[in-house]
Amino acid sequence: MKIRVRLALWYFFITLAILLAFNLGTYLSMKHLLLNALDEELNIITNSIEINYNPQSNSFRNLQIETYNLSRHLKKFYLIVYDSEKQPVFKSPLATIITLNIPRPQTTREESYTIKKRKVEIPLFQSNGKTDRAETIIFRAISRKLFYRNQLIGWASLAMPIEDIEESMQKLLKILIGGSIFAVLLLGVGSYFLTRQSLHPVSAITNLAKKISHSSLNERIRVYNKEDELGQLSIVLNDLLERLQRAFGTQTQFLSDVAHELKTPLSILRAHWESEINNPDLPNALKEQCVRDVETITRISHLINNLLLLSQTEEIQTNFEMTHLRLDELLNNVVEDAQVLSERKSQQLNIIDLKPFEIRGDKIRLYQLFFNLIDNAIRYTPEGGKIEVASVPIDNYAVVEVRDNGAGIPREDLPQIFKRFYRVQKDRSRKTGGSGLGLAICKLIVEAHQGQIEVESEAGKGSLFRVKLPVIRS
């Protein structure tokens, strides 16, 4: 997962968890506070009943008046007072209509209270003028033993509907949920933009780094803020690029200098030996030696050229002279030249399909490429063998195939053959082998033309080299 997404999700979930905990806490403590206050009120009423006990008559004085006084505003007040014989001695009007099964208190002197829910079947009374549409009414109830001078005189069950509290709690819940949803949306969008904003320089760095290859080492990352971590990273990377560019430059210059220094003495040697061929005073045997020496000197200079070509990968284009050319004409020329070699080995070298293509490329290098491939096929195919050349379109590419029915390439050698100085068969004889750079150079030439080269082969059955080059659309 991307850091940006991960960070956004972390932001989001942590803030969400804090938000939910806070909301839950608010809700629960609010409810607790409200119920506590109510319980306190109910307890006070019970106290006043207890105070009004008359031991002489074993009854409660002013019970009716007291209770109504105390809770005038509470019309849905539910009260049953029991005497010590467990007989109800007083019932409030509500208690005569419905029965709330409030359990008898078990502990002495301690108030115990519970919440009861009841479905009210009779539409009870109107509250505050509006019709009560709730199907259930929730009561807060306490039940307490009553004492007179430490003597049990009975108990009271007291309950009050708490729809006001319920209603407030519902409202609070709605506000909290609504607020949370809003906050979550805001949070999601916020964390997305926040991480994007803070990681923007990182993606800028990544994009540039992707773009930078050995050919564009002169580009630099833009530093947004020198002080922050990403700014520091950019500076470090730029510094690295700088050194890399310098290293590449030095290497190229070095190679070019070395090549120049090597070629100058070689050209002197060559000029000397070559002119000796026409020296009438020299015996023929020595002239033959001169020719062989010139060939050796030339081989060295070829090697220098190839090494230079293979090592200057960062400015490969400068070694190529790109022009528009007809690939089919070029292939015809190559095959015509190569025919000389195939005829010597009584091989059949045929063009089986040659579609006209116009491509952009270096004529000499492409000639070298295809000649190398066909020359290889001739070398590794026995006398009387068959070599076929075809050039057909696939998508926007010209696909040139060189197929032979010769020795083929062992499977284990296939991945290696485009590597420098690699030779199949471990065969380094001058007769069949060149410098071992041939296919490496072929690959380089193909790549300089934005093409691809691949090989299919089976030992003993032959090989197929396939070169794909982009064509110019007419």
Partner 1 sequence: MRILVVEDEESLALKIKNVLEAEKHQVEVAFEGNDGLDLALTEEYDLLILDILLPGMNGIQILKDIRKEAFKMPVLLLTAKNRVEDKVSGLDAGADDYLTKPFAIPELLARVRSLLRRASEEKSSVLSVSDLELNTNTHEVKRGEELVQLTSREYAVLEFLLYNKNRVLSRLSIAEHVWGDNFDMFTMTNFVDVHIKNLRKKIDDKRDKKLIQTIRGVGYIIKDEE
Task: Name the site residues for partner 1 (rule: CB under 8 A).
Answer: 256, 259-260, 263-264, 266-272, 274-275, 277-278, 284, 287-288, 290-291, 294-295, 297-299, 301-302, 305, 318-321, 336-337, 340-341, 343-344, 364-365, 367-368, 371, 375, 430-431, 434, 438
Give the torsion sign (CA, 253, 257, 258, 263). Answer: positive
Q: Which is nearer to partner 1, 47 or 435 (CB)?
A: 435
Q: Which is nearer to partner 1, 14 or 340 (CB)?
A: 340
Q: Which is nearer to partner 1, 270 or 468 (CB)?
A: 270
Closest contact distance (angstroms) between CB of 7 and partner 1 is: 49
Cα separation, 88 vs 258, in Å, equals 120
Cα separation, 429 vs 431, in Å, equals 5
Q: Are 84 and 154 in contact (CB under 8 A)?
A: yes
Helix axes of 438-448 and 284-311: crossing angle, nearest 10 degrees: 40
H/E element holding 326?
strand 323-326
Cα-based torsion angle of the residue sequence 357, 360, 362, 363 in order, rounded to the nearest 10 degrees: 30
CA-based nearest residue to 80, from 71, 72, 89, 70: 89
Q: Which is nearer to partner 1, 219 or 343 (CB)?
A: 343
Closest contact distance (angstroms) between CB of 387 and partner 1 is: 15
Q: Tell me how far the alpha carbon of residue 86 is from its chain's centroid.
A: 75
Q: Which is nearer to partner 1, 129 or 280 (CB)?
A: 280
Closest contact distance (angstroms) between CB of 336 and partner 1 is: 8
Q: What angle do CA 382, 388, 392 make, to 5 degrees?
A: 155
Closest contact distance (angstroms) between CB of 458 and partner 1 is: 26
Q: Are 436 and 401 in contact (CB under 8 A)?
A: no
Q: Which is nearer to partner 1, 83 or 362 (CB)?
A: 362
Q: How far apart are the first and last CA of the chain?
A: 45
Closest contact distance (angstroms) between CB of 345 and partner 1 is: 11
Closest contact distance (angstroms) between CB of 268 and partner 1 is: 5
Q: Tell me the residue type at 329.
A: E
Cα separation, 48 vs 219, in Å, equals 90
Q: Which is nearer to partner 1, 196 or 326 (CB)?
A: 326
Cα separation, 375 vs 368, in Å, equals 10
